[in-house]
Amino acid sequence: MQQKKVKFLVGSLLIVGAIGYLITMGISNTSQYFFTVDELMSQKVSFAGTGMKVKGNVVNGSIQRDPDDYLNVKFLIEEKDASLKVSYQGVTPDMFIDGGEVVVEGALGKDGVFHANTLLTSCPSKYEAEKEAGKMHPGTFPKADKYREPGLNKVEALPKTTI
């Protein structure tokens, strides 16, 4: 009887230990730092090779596409007085424009260039102001009453044809 309890206790500890190990490894592998450009550049610690997300605005006129490979894009992002060179390989979102707000996800290289593997853009704030003012937000349908004219749903209003 005593030997069964010991085996059960050892098995339970192994299972709990394995689950704890998997949880800690999963959290450490998926957790990333999130910085603005200004915060990242003011840090004294080197984050080279560390996965992170960086938020900033695209510098006007800085978007450069490789003529041989249109998916290879280099640009600068800035916030306040700090700027960061970004290299991205992939399809860019439609809202990726000069002056647009972006979030890049990737790693900072030893050369000081941020190598992004994900590029996200945010919706311009002008849409939020229009929504608050009562104007239509992109992606919404106009009110159906606007297109209904009196009499169109009545049988008398339809043209009559005789054979």
- Residue 118 bridge partners (DSSP): 105
Q: Cα–Cα distances in Å, from 163 out to 80, 93, 156, 157, 159?
A: 77, 57, 18, 19, 13
Fold of the domain built from segment(s) 33-143: OB fold (Dihydrolipoamide Acetyltransferase, E2P) (2.40.50)
pLDDT by residue (tens digit) across 68-120? 888 889 999 988 888 889 999 988 888 888 888 899 988 888 888 889 998 98
pLDDT by residue (tens digit) across 17-76? 999 988 888 776 666 677 888 888 887 667 777 788 889 999 888 889 888 888 889 999
Higher-confidence residue of 10 and 147: namely 10
Q: Report the pLDDT value the prediction gives residue 16, as an integer from 0 to 100.
A: 93
List the domain boundaries for the chain. 33-143
